[in-house]
Structure 1
Amino acid sequence: MSLIEEIVAQADELAALRRDIHAHPELCFEEVRTADVIAAKLTEWGIAVHRGLGKTGVVGIVHGRDAGACGRALGLRADMDALPMQEGNTFAHASRHAGKMHGCGHDGHVAMLLAAAQHLSRHRDFDGTIYLIFQPAEEGGGGAREMIRDGLFTRFPMQAVFGMHNWPGMAEGQMAVSPGPVMASSNEFKITVRGKGGHAAMPHLVLDPVPVAAQIIMGLQTIISRSLKPVDAGVISVTMVHGGEASNVVPDTVELEGTVRTFSVAVLDMIEQRMQQVIDGICASQGLKYAFVFERNYPPTINTAPEAALARAVMERLVGAAQVLDQEPTMGAEDFAYMLEEKPGAYCFIANGEGDHRAIGHGGGPCMLHNPSYDFNDRLIPLGATFWVELAKEWLK
């Protein structure tokens, strides 16, 4: 493995920084302390800092030896928010705030990018500009979208942007990237079936929404099996059903809620249209009314082929071709997708291992994302930081 020795020599300091952030998690758009820590470090290293994009976002600017005169620029992005969940770990750097936890490794993402920033600030042996993007509110808040709305790409013009996420379950030392879709769009729906309630012993006098809701649930499943091309991917999951208060009372309404995931907007358009048709037809056949709300959240995360190829080439130099995997697309969602809608780029992955890095005091569960026993693997910081440095310099050539 080929790592930058200067970064490796500071591994303990970088791990301590990561653990400090882990111990002080902050939720969507509340990342004030985290942003303060980031801004202070960047300023200490002589990096120009801009704050306030997306409310709590931070952007650092590192110009090369030409002071950015060539006009070439790229962005490197790390997310920095925590999850609204209770940590199960009890080691020294466990969360000090009840109901808040860095259960997805954003603390580690910040540490890797900060480590790269420090090295780049000391060794400006490149032409062009590197924008260091510390983004708030990835966990459901759409912080990437908000930074863009606040002028991320107009105030800091860049030709490409890259992001990276740790991935538990992959063997430590491995990395992954693929062209095309790597994460799905995230969408939510709510269906309210409206009937006429009454006594359950007199079903002929009511308009029962319960069996109609059951028909809708089953009908929605046929969209994937009969309306979606077999080579395309899509998910419709009804995850909540609410209706009724007593065993002998037919309710007036039943509510269904759930999620839809796809890798393309065209498939998403089809699914939403077919859902409307299925709901309308079933309700009409039984004489009931309904309300259907479909909310589109994060779009699909789609890597552009040249940028994915560049990232792969850098990975292979660092860890060897055998250790660089194709990233299998996942139905999880990521708001870095908003940035990739605006600019070419790639979302990359770095293995977090199986969890043997966790110190005494970790929870009883597996080291998986969004699990109370999760913890970022500090041994990744030198590799991730080296990757950022080498990727930036390679792209700017």
Structure 2
Amino acid sequence: MSMTKEQLKQKACEAIDQNREKIVALGRSIFSEPELGYKEFKTADKVKKVFDELGYAYQDGVAITGIVAPRKGRKSNIRVAVMGELDAVVAPGHRCADPKTGAAHSCGHNAQIASMVGVAYALKDTGIMEELDGDIVLMAVPSEEYVEIEYRNELKKAGKIWFLGGKQEFIKLGVMDDIDMMVMQHLTTPEYAYEGKKVLCGCGSNGFVGKLIRYIGKEAHAGGAPHLGINALNAANIGLAALAAQRETFQDKDHIRVHPIMNKGGDLVNVVPADVRLETYVRGSNMEAILDASFKVSRAFKAGGDAVGAKCEITDLPGYLPTIEAMELNELMAGNLSGLIGEENVAITGPANSGSTDQGDLSYIMPTVQSFFAAASGIGHSESYEIADEELAYIVPAKAMVMTCIDLLWDGAAKGIEVKNNYKPEMTKEEYLKKWGNM
């Protein structure tokens, strides 16, 4: 006997509740063993272990560490991806930081993986997929945090990746070719929650260009004969000062942010620095402004080299595109969350996030939604970040995501087809790879 849509949702939520301890334990385990992008082998193994226990077929090693597990519906009218991100950031002072790499889950990606796995539990032996007219594809995706740019650029040079971000690489590899839309979640802290709500369903975000800057000078004895050298560190300091002088030319409406770090400032204190390296983002709310600011930033860094006679090498890399919202998906997710935690605790969209995510790249090609759950405490990307509300971090998102998938795939996947047809992508995959991938 067929179930109604609401009965399917109830059955999915019951399955998640029955596996609550496993889902929470996975989230805690990943939190305790953080890994950086394209190195998430232990985390990937934890996901594969769950899929093996559930008897799910999957492809692993996708973009080095990614995992893709499709669940077939009664028909395959459309395909919805449910994503979680595998990687961590660098916060070496965190209590769970990796002592060698400084990696820490100070952005909540552990909760993304746990809730994605929660959806996997909801679909096992519940009869749900047999009632749906589309597929759900579970994806554990590497490398959302755009860090260790120099390391990843070496992977790119070696032909192991093309893009530095995992979702971007999934696009390049064709993983998203038969996917019609994507749903996922992200954590935030109550201090950053929109209008004090527990959940914000969707919002825009900044895009950015990534830059590697290298100054090449000439070594000499720093105390005995500095006049024989060319000081690359001085060049970098002048370049940074020139960058600071550009900031007043950035318009408030474009939300430009430039935040460089120096990875190498020389080799020995008694040798004139001849090899100095920096990396930075140039963020903004629209691509025209980002590219304009990127030009100014490069000009400033080059001026530093010219000032002292050092060579300045700049490598521009495609960062992430600004996120375009799919309001129909936002509303579907918000409706399901209202039933779970109360309408008063849920907001639909809000001001664009000044951060960046490779969800933005997907949103140029297909409808996507990422809901933000105020389930963490402390400061994001810092040593103080903790999971404060495990129910809201792990369990509620899993329920909301699977309920939204049921909405999309019920009754011939009518709602999913409607969302797909109403969404006007900014680019095809081919245009994306040509315009952005070949930067």
* Residue number among 285, 291, 315 corresponding to 1:269 in the alignment: 291
Match of 1:359 in 2: none
SS at match of 1:259: strand
Q: Corresponding residue for 2:382?
A: 371
What SS does the corresponding residue of 2:379 show, helix, strand or coil? Answer: coil
C-alpha separation in 1, matches of 2:280 and 2:368? 31
Say if 1:61 and 1:132, in contact at 8 Å, map to a contact too: yes
Name 2:70's counterpart in structure 1.
61
In structure 2, relative to structure 1, the CA distance for the partners of 1:310 and 1:182 (3 Å cut) is farther
Unpaired segments ≥5 residues, structure 2:
1-8, 148-163, 410-414, 416-439
Letter in 2 for 1:10: N
Deviations along 1:317-344, one digit per CA (max 9) or x if unpaired, are 4334432244443443323333334322
**CA–CA distance in 2 between the matches of 1:317 and 1:290?**
60
Say if 1:195 and 1:288, in contact at 8 Å, map to a contact too. no
Q: Which residue of 2 aligns with 1:318?
A: 340
- Structure 2: distance between partners of 1:288 and 1:209: 9
Checking the alignment, whether the CA contact within 8 Å between 1:173 and 1:319 is kept in structure 2 is no
Specify the SS of the correspondent of 1:182: coil
Preserved CA contact (<8 Å) 1:236 1:261? yes
Given the alignment of the two structures, is residue 35 of structure 1 paired with residue 35 of structure 2, yes or no?
Answer: no
Percentage of identical aligned residues = 21
Equivalent in the alignment of 1:108: 111
Query: 1:15 deviation in Å?
Result: 1.4
How far 1:313 moved relative to its partner? 3.8
**Cα RMSD (Å) of the superposition?**
3.8
> Which letter does structure 1 place at the counterpart of 2:369?
A
Kindly indicate whether the alpha-carbon contact (under 8 Å) linking 1:186 and 1:298 is maintained by their aligned counterparts in 2.
yes
TM, length-normalised to structure 2: 0.70
Shift of 1:32: 3.4
Q: What secondary structure does 1:302 align onto?
A: coil
Task: Report the residue type matching 1:260 in the other structure.
Answer: V
In structure 1, what residue type is equivalent to 2:293?
A: I
DSSP 3-state at the match of 2:208? coil
- Per-residue CA distance 1:297-333 (angstroms, 9 max, x = gap): 5313413333334434443443344322444434433
TM-superposed CA distance for 1:133, in Å, is 0.8
What secondary structure does 1:52 align onto? Answer: strand
Post-superposition shift, 1:166? 0.9
Partner of 1:296: 317
Alpha-carbon deviation of 1:234?
A: 0.6
State the 1:47 CA deviation: 3.5
The counterpart of 2:401, out of the listed 372, 388, 395, is 388
Q: CA deviation at 1:79?
A: 0.8
Report the TM-score, using the length of structure 1 for normalisation.
Answer: 0.76
What code does the residue aligned with 2:256 have?
A: G
Q: Give the superposition deviation at 1:252.
A: 6.9
Cα distance change, pair 113–287 in 1 and its aligned pair in 2 (3 A): closer
Q: Which structure is higher in helix share?
A: 2
Amino acid at match of 2:402: V
Gapped regions of structure 1 (runs ≥ 5): 355-366
Residues in 1 aligned to 2:278 and 2:88: alpha-carbon distance in whole angstroms: 29
Answer whether contact 2:86 2:141 (CA < 8 A) is retained.
Answer: yes
Aligned positions of 1:140-179 closer than 5 A: 140=147, 142-154=165-177, 157-170=178-191, 174-179=198-203
Residues 280-301 of structure 1: per-residue CA shift (max 9 Å, x gap): 56766x5745414143253134
- The residue type paired with residue 320 of structure 2 is P
For 1:118, the equivalent position in structure 2 comes to: 121
One-letter code aligned to 2:31: H
Q: Secondary structure at the match of 2:254?
A: coil
- 2:108 corresponds to which letter in structure 1? G
CA distance in 2, matches of 1:11, 1:348: 20
Partners of 1:283 and 1:290 within 8 A in 2 = yes
Following the alignment from structure 2 to structure 1, what is the Cα–Cα distance between the partners of residues 229 and 59? Answer: 62
What amino acid is aligned across from residue 401 of structure 2 in structure 1?
W
